[in-house]
A and B are shown apart, each in its own frame.
Chain A
């Protein structure tokens, strides 16, 4: 009772989405801190293959709902399962991915349970909260930390009274780590019709086209991004060379994409991808707000720019005043020399 629940999203029949594995890892550490159990929910069809992987993240109880019509995902059957399961199990915290599925499912579940939900969190912490008006102190609440207002502020949200405390988190924000490949958790296979009624299958998927993403930008811990200042497609190859050395991915500003230096699936920013790597190296990027919106939560930012007044330098941890042509080859050289 009052445990932490993670909804595990299933892609490609029985593969668990990375974002869910990241949340299991976060859920495990929150459970240790709160001295409660970690429970997971998988919903889909032919799920047996997914069970050992989910357990290995330190799951104490795994709820399995396996039926043909539960994959691909549709809103109502998955929502009914979570609503009924949560009513029964009364979790204190429930987490899911802030992707299309989680952002479709989470609000529906939270509305049915009148529990409140914080979208797109970038950090989750445990802490106390005092209601200034009543003086009531709430112990061990989930701090749901997220950017708001177009990325211009960061807000900490709490749900003092309502349970579960629900939050969605984007892919790549948290780390995933297996606890033990043979972690012993209980597996509970539920009878789906006890949770889902026939009328829940109101929307049917008649066709799907999924393209495997060609790059791994969203999940890469290091991103080397190039802007208009990189100057040419040939210079962009320098960034790919550095990326290869550092096991990084290459990103780009819109100006670089528009100039044809690289493909548009690499664009970072308001109208591109949001990335939160450990290290973001901005090469020849001025740092307009629309670009910053997609990378400002990187843990460390290095700017390589020949204009000391470039706005990106304001949010950079390291500013290298110089040209991309000069600095990037030196980085490659000195990385090779010192990393051995």
Chain B
């Protein structure tokens, strides 16, 4: 049985290698100083999809990503590894979305894609660390969910068996397609780009990207339709503006404080008996130990 798989992938700033210049003086994030990458756990999700495609010939993988124009890079990275096509949801009206508005937008796009057996996303994105979008997309589509997946064990006759991570151990669960899966970072890493696919898709571009570049390749795009990456706006997916972006987000950020690079006032002591004893007495007095 061949499968139609949608993979949710997000372009994120690489928060794991944050240098001092990543924070502006006013405590906000200097996104320009951080490289934009494929959200790590979304690569684990893609790998699970690619394995299903390996074992179920004729299956297709569609990448779906919401973000600014440059997030088209995510679709190309997916194509280079074996995905078949992708959609970029991009519109000013999507900006400022919290997880609820994000899942609303992704769910409307998935309804437009319509024909799917499985939706696979990463467990969480490293910019927000919320792990909310997967279950919320499932709820919006009225589908069951299996989160924290380590490995898809099998998928036969419309029944999928998954090993998932739970607190203090693992469990194996079973469910009927269609459903939504989110994949953990500890699952198998994603295979590297395939040179053949890089060659095939390196000129794949969205309309916006084509407009920005030179049009030397115009003929190429009319000849090879797979090089035309689709962009969808709110209107393209019949989205309700009230439920998108900032207006569709019930949570508001009240305040933000930069912590890591604020050095604390610290007391410096030596290793002498006197200093160590004073420290212990102080800790006992303020009931930190005792």
Whether a CB of chain B sits under 8 angstroms from the CB of A178 is no
B254 interfacial by beta-carbon distance below 8 Å:
yes
Query: Do the beta carbons of B171 and A152 come within 8 Å of each other?
Result: no
Interface size in chain A (residues, C-beta < 8 A): 89
| Docked pose: A316 CA to B266 CA in angstroms | 6
Do B260 and A159 touch (CB < 8 A)?
no
Count of residues in B whose CB is under 8 Å from the partner chain: 80
Residue A258 at the B interface, CB < 8 A? no
Asked if B253 CB lies within 8 Å of chain A CBs, one says yes
For residue B47, CB closer than 8 A to chain A, the reply is no
B252 touching A157, Cβ below 8 Å: yes
A149 touches B268 (CB 8 A): no
Of B166, B256, B289, the contact of A222 (CB 8 Å cutoff) = B289
Chain B: minimal CB distance from A197 (Å): 12
B251 A314 Cβ-Cβ under 8 A: no
Interchain CB contact (< 8 A) of A100 among B29, B167, B271, B273: B167
The verdict on A313 contacting chain B, using a C-beta distance below 8 Å, is yes
Q: Counting CB contacts under 8 A, is B245 at the interface? A: no
Per-residue interface assignment for chain B, residues 246 to 290, with 1 indicating a CB less than 8 Å from any chain A CB and 0 otherwise? 000111111111111101111111110101110111011000111
Query: A110 contacts which of B136, B264, B267 (Cβ < 8 Å)?
Result: B136
Query: Are B135 and A211 closer than 8 Å at their CB atoms?
Result: no
Q: Is A156 an interface residue (CB 8 A)?
A: yes
Cβ–Cβ contact A152 & B276, under 8 A: no
Residues in B neighbouring A330, C-beta threshold 8 A: 271, 273, 276-277
Complex Cα gap A111–B248 (Å) = 12
Beyond A116-B250, A129-B252, 11 additional contacts (C-beta under 8 Å) are A11-B167, A76-B144, A104-B145, A104-B148, A150-B129, A155-B256, A158-B251, A202-B175, A203-B144, A321-B270, A331-B279
Ranked 5 nearest A-B pairs via Cβ: A322-B271, A150-B15, A116-B250, A210-B169, A107-B132
19 A–B contacts, CB within 8 A, in A order = A11-B167, A74-B173, A79-B139, A100-B166, A103-B132, A108-B138, A111-B103, A112-B139, A115-B250, A150-B18, A156-B256, A208-B170, A209-B170, A278-B288, A317-B264, A318-B267, A320-B279, A322-B271, A330-B271
The chain B residues found within 8 Å of chain A, CB to CB, are 13, 15-18, 22-23, 27, 29, 98-100, 103, 126-136, 138-140, 144-148, 161, 165-176, 179, 249-261, 263-271, 273, 275-277, 279-281, 283-284, 288-290
